[in-house]
Amino acid sequence: MKIAVAQINPTVGDIGGNKKKILSYMLEAEKQGAELVVFPEMALIGYPPMDLLLNKKLIRDNIDALNEIAGKSKDIAVVCGYVEYDNDNPPMLYNAAAFMHCGSIISKHYKTLLPTYDVFDESRYFSPAKKQEPVKLKDKLLGITICEDIWNDEYDSAGQLVIGRKYEVDPVAILAGRKIDLMINISASPYVKGKNELKWKMISKIAEKHSLPIIYVNQVGGNDSLIFDGNSFFVNGKGEFKAVAGGFKEDLVIIDITGSNKAINPVEDGIEDIRKALVLGIKDYFSKCGFKSAVLGLSGGIDSALTAALAVQALGEDKVTGITMPSVYSSKGSVDDSLRLARNLGIRIEELAIKDIFESYNNLFSDLFKGLQRDVTEENLQARIRSNILMAFSNKFGSLLLTTGNKSELAMGYCTLYGDMAGGLAVISDLPKTMVYELAGHINREREIIPPDTITKAPSAELRENQKDQDTLPPYEILDRILESYIEKQMSADEIIAQGFDARIVKEVLATVNRSEYKRRQAAPGLKVTSKAFGTGRRLPIAQRFVP
Amino acid sequence: MKIAVAQINPTVGDIGGNKKKILSYMLEAEKQGAELVVFPEMALIGYPPMDLLLNKKLIRDNIDALNEIAGKSKDIAVVCGYVEYDNDNPPMLYNAAAFMHCGSIISKHYKTLLPTYDVFDESRYFSPAKKQEPVKLKDKLLGITICEDIWNDEYDSAGQLVIGRKYEVDPVAILAGRKIDLMINISASPYVKGKNELKWKMISKIAEKHSLPIIYVNQVGGNDSLIFDGNSFFVNGKGEFKAVAGGFKEDLVIIDITGSNKAINPVEDGIEDIRKALVLGIKDYFSKCGFKSAVLGLSGGIDSALTAALAVQALGEDKVTGITMPSVYSSKGSVDDSLRLARNLGIRIEELAIKDIFESYNNLFSDLFKGLQRDVTEENLQARIRSNILMAFSNKFGSLLLTTGNKSELAMGYCTLYGDMAGGLAVISDLPKTMVYELAGHINREREIIPPDTITKAPSAELRENQKDQDTLPPYEILDRILESYIEKQMSADEIIAQGFDARIVKEVLATVNRSEYKRRQAAPGLKVTSKAFGTGRRLPIAQRFVP
């Protein structure tokens, strides 16, 4: 039996557009001889729709579209993710898959395990399935599960604990007990560094355990912070990978589930996958929001240089403008490095010095601030003058402002609210500074894109005389490990200190992270690539006094 | 039997401080002859702790504190809200109440119904209780439920549908079936306009239905966006109110559950309750974040005037500074009205004209913008110059900047990101413009606080010649009703048009609301007083194309 994996990139809420895409993939799959075509979880609505799901019209529209798709499933069977009413418990819904054939909906399958952690809020909208029933296609009995339904095995093949949460029901085991011939899992599973390795091991082990071939179909595409990586696959009943779809792009793969092609050994390409994820995240945020061009401030530092390089890869060199805005505290190197970066990238660059504007603010404050020392006020003011300039460019020319801060500085509040934090999309806000260096090196692997000086000089905000990041922050190699322990692993101060870090530094870092929450609450949405990013998946009160 | 209702104001995460407060209320309740003292839901941790609950140390600290409290429950029994481990399903927790007496924990009671809608995310952290058991105190059998557990009756006393969600389990009915003598419900139920009337009717009806006296103990205090109003109460088995604690303040009320004092008829005081809620919200946000003084821009308009008046009521006239920042487009009235407001309130006011700074930006842009029309760029720029001035004052003097936008303009994106949207707390961001007028009138009910001109003149952003809000927006009386239908009632365009509104206006308003989501994602936290505020309880994607 030939089955088509339709790894599509839907746009959230665009029922009409998504339906059209689904119909065209159906046609192509049929043309290529498939008897069944499988679309991802919530293919009709996009993921995550969030509170759009509270709009009754959205649900009606998606049911209407599903019926239209069913009507066209004449000669090919279709599995497609959508949203169904829970009529026993309104206004709750089901995260559902429809199995359609011969022009109608044959069966509906609901998601049993509803992720309600990190960026996921499925219990907010959905009821869990009360039963799991297989469905027949010709001589094959198929089990259909949705994403989290298959994430129930806690241990990877090395016997290591890999998932922190255990569910009481295992939909895969229930369906395997019904003697199905094939498990189909439709997913909307966002990219997280290291997650594919884990997923591949886990699902291969599940296939082997139940002697059950599994087709896994994932969404692809960027939706706000989340980047779906595709990488759909087929494993046979021995747990061997027999087909893998493309990563970070739409794909249609025809799988012969009884075929005997060679086993594949998929591997994550660490830093290259992160690059692809960020490029796709930028590309889709722009196209789905209707923006064509980007603007960003170039400071001569590594963060803005890396952001510019990624933006060019996503949008093209003619769609990115850099603005360098020297102050009296800027080194000559900063402007030179920015000009060199722009030349390397082939992008337009404008130079707009902020000295006169800074002076006009200082004149205005001359009475009010008389006799007071210069302090962080004047540092922030410069950052905010720069953001005003960038936003004026953005408003005048319709370019979306990219903000360039990294995860380490966002964690420590080492950034200016309404200043360098301003922008529509935070491209590298989930990259710790040490990862920024790694990715910059990777970008430069074939030829110089980011100027060498930008990479080698000591990081500085250049907002006062001879300022260096390391005057205020611990060395990034240490800081990033403490931050990872606290933010991604949720360890306490004592546990982190027990790893061998200086107690005073750990306590100061953790307190600073907590104290800076008010800044992050107003931060631009950022692209998520780690298991715990700032943003919708990390929700903290501002007025609080927990001692971590 | 005398029972003390301890309506306290905990600080989120401040286990030590909350424990101290609980111990001191225990002592006072004992002194006043109570045999049992009841504290609210999650009294030890505060509400909402959000992802602080993922810190294992927080949970350990709260268990340690609970054990200390139990040790001191020698001569008085205590019911107190805390968080317990779900050992069968780590890392999940229970939202719990401990019943303590004679120096130890007698029984633990878990929340069954976990609100996971609007601002609530309880399924993210908690497992539901699997059973509901009563507990004996002397000759009385007590049932203990937690907040949502009692919100299961869908209809109010008039037979009207009042809650959109029905649960399959009814913990109140289960416990009533066990022949309890008294139901205790501990809550952390935030203020929402109109919710008390509904709650009072609902719980009175439950008491009557089961012939069951009910003690309801609510938290009080502001925590970020949420304002807990207290208003704890006791209803007898006939559904009559026999005692009501204070609103919007801490309180300790001794209830004789067998006493025969006169029945009370509690009523919501619409606009006055909103005023009290906002004042408490400001006061607690400042004290819990460690701020003492506020600064805000005074435009001469009604939004900033109302915000200033509320800030003075919360913090005192010597803790609020207004800054008036006229431009070439400001009317003379704007400065005069601001000066008059400051005089009426007795606050400091500074005048800082933005003309020179605006010119220095325009000079900088003279080449870049040559030949281009002035447009929204220059309007936004003025708003951002003002926010830079306000943030400089905030940074230099340590005053928290209040932002003054209302719900109508936030809905329509009729505000400048990083401009008038800048600030640490959005005081009136959940008040539609029509409610702003109502509250301003209420503030002025005894004497002039807000100048009459500020109330009567046509609203204007004064960012270009002769600009008026109504050049861009529909009249507020119409706009606010459309917005309420869309945002609070989640109606579709067709349903709103069917109410009699102009189709073109409705479609334009709804599209504008959706298009402005990117601004709200970066908005300051705002105080919630309606059933659907912008912020943590309304979660929408930015890159989306749903046609409402």
Tell me the pLDDT tens digit for each residue of A351-370.
999 999 999 999 999 999 99
Find out whether A421 and B422 touch, Cβ atoms under 8 Å: no
Up-side HSE of residue B266: CA atoms within 13 Å toward CB? 26
Q: A361 in helix, strand or coil?
A: helix
Contact A289 B356 (CB under 8 A): no
Is a pLDDT exceeding 80 seen at residue A24?
A: yes
pLDDT at B162: 56
Query: In chain A, which residues have their Cβ closer than 8 Å to the Cβ of B541?
Result: 12-13, 48-50, 52, 223-224
Q: How confident is the model at residue B156 (pLDDT cuts 50, 70, 90)?
A: low
Residue B10's closest chain A neighbor by CA?
A544
Q: In whole numbers, what is the pLDDT of chain A averaged over residues?
A: 95
Decide if A111 is catalytic: yes
pLDDT at A157: 47
Contact A392 B381 (CB under 8 A): yes
Torsion angle of C-alpha atoms B512, B513, B515, B519, degrees rounded to 10: 120
pLDDT at B9: 98
Contact B388 A385 (CB under 8 A): yes
| Backbone dihedral angles phi then psi of residue A144, each to the nearest 5 degrees | -120, 120
**Cβ neighbours of B443 (radius 10 Å):** 19
pLDDT at B332: 84
Up-side HSE of residue B136: CA atoms within 13 Å toward CB? 2
Contact B289 A518 (CB under 8 A): yes
Contact B545 A164 (CB under 8 A): no
Interface test with A, best of B360, B379, B496, B514 (most A CBs within 10 A): B360
Query: In chain B, which residues have their Cβ closer than 8 Å to the Cβ of A349?
Result: none
* Cα four-point dihedral sign A422, A426, A428, A430: positive
Query: In chain A, which residues have their Cβ closer than 8 Å to the Cβ of B350?
Result: 368
Interface test with A, best of B47, B56, B545, B547 (most A CBs within 10 A): B545
pLDDT at B112: 97
For residue range A320-343, list pLDDT tens digits in order.
999 999 998 988 888 999 999 999
Is a pLDDT exceeding 70 seen at residue A56?
A: yes
Angstroms from A290 CA to nearest CA on chain B:
9
Residue B14's closest chain A neighbor by CA?
A545
For residue range B318-376, list pLDDT tens digits in order.
999 999 999 989 888 889 999 999 999 999 999 999 999 999 999 999 999 999 999 99
Is a pLDDT exceeding 80 seen at residue B154?
A: no
pLDDT at A164: 45
pLDDT at A163: 54
Is a pLDDT exceeding 70 seen at residue A520?
A: yes
Angstroms from B100 CA to nearest CA on chain A:
25
Angstroms from B198 CA to nearest CA on chain A:
20
Angstroms from B117 CA to nearest CA on chain A:
5
Contact A417 B548 (CB under 8 A): no
Is a pLDDT exceeding 80 seen at residue A159?
A: no
Query: In chain B, which residues have their Cβ closer than 8 Å to the Cβ of A540?
Result: 50-52
Q: Which of A162-171, A214-223, B210-219, B303-312 has the lowest mean pLDDT?
A: A162-171
Is a pLDDT exceeding 80 seen at residue A502?
A: yes
Residue B383's closest chain A neighbor by CA?
A388
pLDDT at B114: 96
Q: Which of A48, A388, A542 faces B381 most closely, judged by CB atoms?
A: A388
For residue range A116-157, list pLDDT tens digits in order.
999 999 999 999 999 999 999 999 999 999 999 998 765 554
For residue range B470-487, list pLDDT tens digits in order.
888 999 999 999 999 999
Contact A12 B377 (CB under 8 A): no
Q: What is the widest separation between alpha-carbon atoms in chain A?
A: 87
Interface test with B, best of A44, A378, A384, A492 (most B CBs within 10 A): A384
Query: In chain B, which residues have their Cβ closer than 8 Å to the Cβ of A224?
Result: 541-543
Q: How confident is the model at residue B307 (pLDDT cuts 50, 70, 90)?
A: very high
* Cα four-point dihedral sign A504, A508, A509, A511: positive
For residue range A81-125, list pLDDT tens digits in order.
999 999 988 889 999 999 999 999 999 999 999 999 999 999 999
pLDDT at B180: 98
Task: Catalogue the E-assigned strands of A331-483.
Answer: 348-351, 400-403, 425-426
Catalytic residue among B147, B319, B415, B528: B147
Is a pLDDT exceeding 70 seen at residue A406?
A: yes
Catalytic residue among A84, A122, A147, A407: A147
Find out whether B26 and B72 touch, Cβ atoms under 8 Å: yes
Query: In chain A, which residues have their Cβ closer than 8 Å to the Cβ of B548?
Result: 55, 57
Q: Which of B46, B48, B57 faces A548 most closely, judged by CB atoms?
A: B57
Tell me A488's DSSP state.
I
For residue range A421-471, list pLDDT tens digits in order.
999 999 999 999 999 999 999 999 999 999 999 999 989 888 888 888 888
**N residues, chain B:** 548
pTM, full prediction = 0.96
Q: Which of A504-518, A522-536, B213-227, B256-270 has the lowest mean pLDDT?
A: B256-270
Rounded CA-CA distance B384/B502 in Å is 35
Mean pLDDT of A283-308: 97
pLDDT at B152: 78
Torsion angle of C-alpha atoms A116, A249, A289, A298, degrees rounded to 10: 100
pLDDT at A167: 81
- Could you tell me the domains of chain A? 2-260 (3.60.110.10), 275-473+516-521 (3.40.50.620)
Rounded CA-CA distance B26/B44 in Å is 14
ipTM (interface predicted TM): 0.95
Contact A396 B357 (CB under 8 A): no
Contact A395 B380 (CB under 8 A): yes
Is a pLDDT exceeding 80 seen at residue B499?
A: yes
Contact A57 B494 (CB under 8 A): yes
Contact B522 A518 (CB under 8 A): no
Is a pLDDT exceeding 80 seen at residue A38?
A: yes
**Cβ neighbours of A438 (radius 10 Å):** 15
Catalytic residue among A19, A21, A30, A41: A41
Contact B490 A54 (CB under 8 A): yes
Residue type, B455: I
Three-state SS string over B461-505 comes to: CCCCCCCCHHHHCCCHHHHHHHHHHHHHCCCCHHHHHCCCCCHHH
Interface test with A, best of B58, B114, B124 (most A CBs within 10 A): B124
* Cα four-point dihedral sign B250, B255, B260, B265: positive
For residue range A165-179, list pLDDT tens digits in order.
468 899 999 999 999
Residue of B253, B282, B210, B264 whose CA lies nearest to B427: B282
Angstroms from B475 CA to nearest CA on chain A:
26
Residue B382's closest chain A neighbor by CA?
A388
pLDDT at A154: 59
Query: In chain B, which residues have their Cβ closer than 8 Å to the Cβ of A288?
Result: 543-545
Q: In whole numbers, what is the pLDDT of chain B averaged over residues?
A: 95
Residue B224's closest chain A neighbor by CA?
A543
Q: In this structure, what token pair is assigned to residue A271?
A: 């830093």
Contact B364 A356 (CB under 8 A): yes
Contact A395 B387 (CB under 8 A): no
Query: When comparing pLDDT for A405 and A163, which is higher?
Result: A405
Q: Which of B11, B381, B542 faces A289 most closely, judged by CB atoms?
A: B542
Contact B388 A56 (CB under 8 A): no
Residue B398's closest chain A neighbor by CA?
A377
Is a pLDDT exceeding 70 seen at residue B164?
A: no
Is a pLDDT exceeding 70 seen at residue B224?
A: yes
Rounded CA-CA distance B27/B75 in Å is 10
Query: In chain B, which residues have their Cβ closer than 8 Å to the Cβ of A289?
Result: 518, 542-543
Residue A537's closest chain B neighbor by CA?
B51
Torsion angle of C-alpha atoms A226, A228, A229, A230, degrees rounded to 10: 180
Decide if B238 is catalytic: no
Is a pLDDT exceeding 80 seen at residue B269?
A: yes
Contact B55 A548 (CB under 8 A): yes
